[in-house]
């Protein structure tokens, strides 16, 4: 089963206590597709400017990502600049320039209109909805969003959520979307809006999932070197959706598979944060991924009795 | 194996978004000993004032806790007042009145001087050290501390830590004590100060443990009703030390037992936060505790492969 992602491709300028990078390739769709590419065939629908060069494209090409839906428009690629604080848990946005992303109207090319699964990364919920009307209903629809849309376009977001299977957002967004400080009750409210499953990204504290099977929660891997958290959430979503796309070919998505997929999302996020930008996602191999997945299972394992 | 705890017994006045209580029995030694009492014989060394009545004592007597080390001094019992914010993750201290706790000099009575294990709850590290000199070296020494002592009495704290097996503190305290923002590296630095094992309490995000066996991490149970986080950390420590005291009678403390003890600590903390003050720790039974422990193991379980 393939996965199609719609979202941003961007140039990021990042400062952390461990160094800085200027105008490196980033964006939700980039992180997502690189992470997912280790599990399944991935296509991107996004827009970049005419400053997005062939060596930038090469990053995605190397991983065999279908770029037929990557529109090259006249103007500048979306740029974001941010600075992380000492403990990496908080950051300040220093600059945002939307460039061609301001007028982005996703157009899914003919060849990508029957995706096995679809991930609507964090963009305007009206655009997310528009994409859903362009494709044949995939077996699985995942979605991300943020406080900006919860505050500014709640009705549009709710219309999109009705067609979403898995919503992947963070703690604060979950509480805000539900208007409820208790996460368990917030999850109940959100699941009544459409998504069967809510996955709550908790940053360095891992993830929690709420579904018909109950509650699942895991910590994140504890790493002795974390240099740049940018893209961790999108890498998580890419590993998660990629794993499901790979394994749902042969069997239905049940609780066991869902838990493994969430663990694999955490594994891909852990590779992401150990290097700047997408670096940590470029040269992985199945053995390294499996090793870390095994480490991850061992991390929280409690022997019976 | 028994457990002896040295720490505060207090009157707490607590405001949370879910209600308020005035001058209810609290304090680290109270929460700790109630939680531990479900697993082993517990003794307390602490001081209260002459305003601490028999009905207050009854709370601890009911659970069979040895109060021969609970000194009743002339004056007021230690009082603390605090208000929790909407999401319960942060709180403001509204008032602290040390009362008889200001001159507290722990005196371990003769009958408690050979404890199987010892927990030094958060008090002046010089007093913690003094207690260590009063008892026969227990099989296991646990210890808590806080930013106040890390900032004000670091040398004394380091002297105490040399004699401690398991340090149980939170994220921020770990980073502060080690002077290192990365938790894995902070744990390495702290373990070189004395404790073989560092357990990091992460509040609603669970706990992480660093030992010779590597890293263990678990989320906290996700509960649909949390009304008062006061005492969660001390209940955790009580469940943890109590479980070890019970099971280390028959076998050595290995990684498997340590992981189970940490899970049991989390279970006792989860009971604590569902009611105000110590209420949630008063009327438990082995079946309820075991049921929640099983729920807890299921929470993070990932099937093989």
pLDDT tens string A267-291: 999 999 999 999 999 999 999 999 9
Asked if the Cβ–Cβ distance from B260 to A305 is below 8 Å, we say yes
Q: Say whether A303 and B259 touch across the interface (CB within 8 A).
A: yes
Cβ pair A205:B205 closer than 8 A:
yes
- Find which of A302, A303, A304 to mutate to test the B interface (most B CBs within 10 Å of its CB): A302
Question: What tens digit of pLDDT does each residue of B94-133 get?
Answer: 999 999 999 999 999 999 999 999 999 999 999 999 999 9
**B265 in A contact zone (CB under 8 Å):** no
Is B54 in CB contact (< 8 Å) with chain A? no
Cross-chain Cβ contact B206/A219 below 8 Å: yes
C-beta atoms of A206 and B219 within 8 A: yes
DSSP element (H, E) containing B271: helix B255-273
* CB-closest option in A87, A183, A222 to B217: A222
Confidence at residue B196, expressed as pLDDT on a 0 to 100 scale: 97
**CB pair distance less than 8 Å for B218 and A305:** no
Q: How many CB atoms lie within 10 A of CB B182?
A: 18
- Average the pLDDT over each of A31-40, A79-88, B135-144, B147-156 and give the range with the smallest value: A79-88
- pLDDT at residue B305, as a whole number: 61
Q: What's the average model confidence in pLDDT over B249-269?
A: 93
Residue of A182, A207, A210, A219 to mutate, testing the B interface (most B Cβ within 10 Å of its Cβ): A219
Give Cα separations from B94 to A193, B83, B152 (angstroms).
40, 7, 22
pLDDT(A95) > 90: yes
Residue A253 touches partner B, C-beta closer than 8 Å: no
What confidence score (pLDDT) does residue B304 get? 75
Residue A154 contacts B, CB cutoff 8 Å:
no
pLDDT of residue A305: 61
| Closest CA relative to residue A259, chosen from B190, B105, B299, B117 | B299
Indicate if the alpha-carbon torsion angle B86, A157, A213, A210 is positive or negative.
Answer: negative
Question: What pLDDT, in 10s, does the model give residues A156-172?
Answer: 999 999 999 999 999 99
Please give the pLDDT value at position A161.
98
> Which residues of B fall within a CB distance of 8 Å from A256?
303
Q: How close A183 comes to chain B (CA, Å)? A: 7
Instruction: Examine the pLDDT at B87 and tell me if it is beyond 80.
Output: no
Contact state of A219 with B226 under an 8 Å Cβ cutoff? no
Per-residue pLDDT, averaged over B200-225, amounts to 96
* 3-class secondary structure, A72: strand
ipTM reported for the complex surpasses 0.90 = yes
A261 shares contact with chain B (CB less than 8 Å): no
Instruction: Tell me how close the Cα of A94 comes to any Cα of chain B, in angstroms.
Output: 23
Contacts of A18 in chain B (CB under 8 A): none
| B190 and A CB contact within 8 Å | no
Which residues in chain B have Cβ-Cβ distances shorter than 8 Å to A206? 205, 217, 219
Q: How far is A59 from chain B (nearest CA, A)?
A: 30
Contacts of A44 (CB under 8 A, 6+ apart): A4, A5, A6, A9, A29, A33, A60, A65, A66, A67, A69, A70
Q: A with B: how many residue pairs have Cβ under 8 Å apart?
A: 91
**Gap from B198 CA to chain A (nearest CA, Å):** 14
Using a CB-CB distance cutoff of 8 angstroms, which residues of chain A are in contact with residue B246? none
Q: Would you call A209 an interface residue with chain B, using a CB distance cutoff of 8 Å? A: no
Is the CB of A181 less than 8 angstroms away from the CB of B263?
Answer: no
B217 at interface of A, judged by CB pairs closer than 8 A: yes
How do strand A207-211 and strand B19-26 relate by DSSP bridges? unpaired
Q: What is the pLDDT of residues B173-196, one digit of tens each?
A: 999 999 998 999 999 999 999 999
Provide the terminal-to-terminal Cα distance of chain B, rounded to the nearest Å. Answer: 39
pLDDT at residue B67 in the model: 97
Within an 8 Å CB–CB cutoff, is residue B148 touching chain A?
A: no
Q: How many residues are recorded in chain B?
A: 305
**Residue B264 to chain A, least CA–CA distance (Å):** 11
Q: Measure in Å the smallest separation between the Cα of A35 and chain B Cα atoms.
A: 20
pLDDT of residue A7: 98
Question: Which residues in B lie closer than 8 A to residue A260 (C-beta atoms)?
Answer: 302-303, 305
Percent of all residues in chain A with a pLDDT value above 90, rounded to a whole number: 93
Cα B18–Cα B21–Cα B27 angle in degrees, nearest 5: 110
Minimal Cα–Cα distance from B150 to chain A, Å?
19
Strand partners, B169: B200
What is the DSSP secondary structure assignment for residue A63, as one 8-state letter? T
* Percent of chain B predicted with pLDDT > 90: 93
Alpha carbon B176 to its chain centroid, in Å, reads: 19
């Amino acid at each position: 089963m393939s996965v199609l992602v719609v979202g941003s491709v961007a140039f990021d300028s990042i400062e952390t206590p461990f160094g800085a990078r200027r105008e490196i390739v980033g964006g939700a769709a980039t992180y997502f597709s690189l992470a997912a590419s280790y599990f399944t065939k991935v296509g991107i629908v996004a827009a970049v400017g005419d400053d997005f060069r062939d060596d930038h494209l090469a990053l995605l090409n190397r991983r065999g990502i279908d770029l037929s839906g990557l529109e090259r428009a006249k103007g500048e690629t979306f740029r974001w600049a941010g600075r992380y604080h000492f403990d990496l848990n908080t950051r300040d946005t220093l600059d945002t320039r939307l460039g061609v992303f301001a007028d982005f109207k996703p157009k899914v090319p003919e060849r990508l209109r029957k995706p096995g699964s679809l991930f609507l990364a964090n963009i305007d919920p009206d655009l997310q909805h528009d994409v859903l009307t362009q494709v044949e209903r995939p077996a699985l629809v995942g979605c991300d969003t943020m406080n900006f849309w919860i505050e500014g376009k709640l009705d549009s977001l709710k219309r999109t959520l009705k067609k979403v299977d898995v919503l992947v957002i963070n703690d604060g967004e979950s509480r805000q979307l539900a208007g409820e400080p208790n996460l368990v009750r917030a999850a109940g409210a959100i699941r009544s809006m459409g998504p069967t499953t809510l996955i709550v990204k908790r940053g360095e504290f891992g993830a929690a999932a709420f579904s018909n099977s109950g509650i699942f929660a895991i910590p994140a891997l504890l790493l002795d070197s974390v240099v740049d958290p940018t893209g961790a959430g999108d890498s998580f979503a890419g590993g998660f959706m990629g794993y499901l796309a790979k394994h749902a070919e042969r069997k239905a998505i049940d609780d066991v598979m869902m838990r493994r997929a969430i663990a694999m999302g955490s594994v891909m996020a852990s590779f992401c944060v150990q290097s700047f930008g997408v670096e940590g996602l470029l040269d992985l191999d199945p053995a390294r991924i499996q090793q870390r997945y095994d480490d991850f299972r061992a991390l929280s394992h409690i022997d019976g009795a």
